[in-house]
Structure 1
Amino acid sequence: MYAVIKTGGKQYRVVAGEKLKVEQIPADIGAQITLDQILMVGEGEAVKIGAPLVQGASVQATVVSHGRHDKVKIFKMRRRKHYQKHQGHRQNYTEIRIDGISA
């Protein structure tokens, strides 16, 4: 069984037992969380598509860790104008483990 969830403005296809990094969620390490924005649930040929969400569906997950992604370097330059700008950004993330999907 798989599901398509929405969290942090992004969509993820998840399966039970899978680990993934999502936008930062304010929860303690080891805490059980419930993701209730489920866009689609599928099992083999049977697929339920929400309009926009599947009613009564949820995904249970456990917070594994918090961290920061690698630095993204931003470099802006205007040729012949003596303009150069260096910038960097590191985005926070929460790593979660999918425990179960209920439809």
Structure 2
Amino acid sequence: MYAIVDIAGKQFKVTQDQFVYTPRLEGEEGASVEFDNVLLVEADGKVNVGTPSIKGAKVTGKILSHLKDDKVLVFKKKRRKGYKKKNGHRQAMTKVLIETIK
């Protein structure tokens, strides 16, 4: 059984007892979260597609930790002009354990 869920503007294919790294979510570590925007559910070979989401379907999870993603380097240069600029960025992430799909 799996579901496709919209979490913070991104779509994730999730199964039960799976870890998902999402954009930073509100809530304490150890808190329970509920995702109502379920786009698709597959169970026992039957696929249920929402228009755009499935009414009454919920995915629950537990926030395990807040962390940062790997650093992405941005380097800009204009040749023969002496212009160089180097920036780095680390995106804030949340590690979520998917507990149930209803």
| TM-score tier (shorter) | over 0.9
Structure 1 runs of 4+ aligned residues shifted over 4 Å read none
In the TM superposition, residue 45 of structure 1 has moved relative to its aligned partner by: 1.9
Identity of aligned residues (%): 36
Unmatched tracts of structure 2, length 5 or more: none
In structure 2, how many angstroms separate the alpha carbons of the residues matched to 1:101 and 1:66? 23
User: Secondary structure of 1:97's partner?
Assistant: strand
Q: Distance in 2 between matches of 1:98 and 1:40?
A: 16
TM-score, normalised relative to structure 2: 0.96
Measured after TM superposition, the shift of residue 44 of structure 1 is 3.3
Amino acid across the alignment from 1:85: K
Give the alignment's TM-score, normalised by structure 1.
0.96
Amino acid at match of 1:3: A
Counting matched residue pairs gives: 102
| 1:28-50 per-position Cα deviation (integer Å, ceiling 9, x unaligned) | 11111101110100113200111
Deviation of residue 82 (structure 1)? 1.1
Unaligned runs of 5+ in 1: none
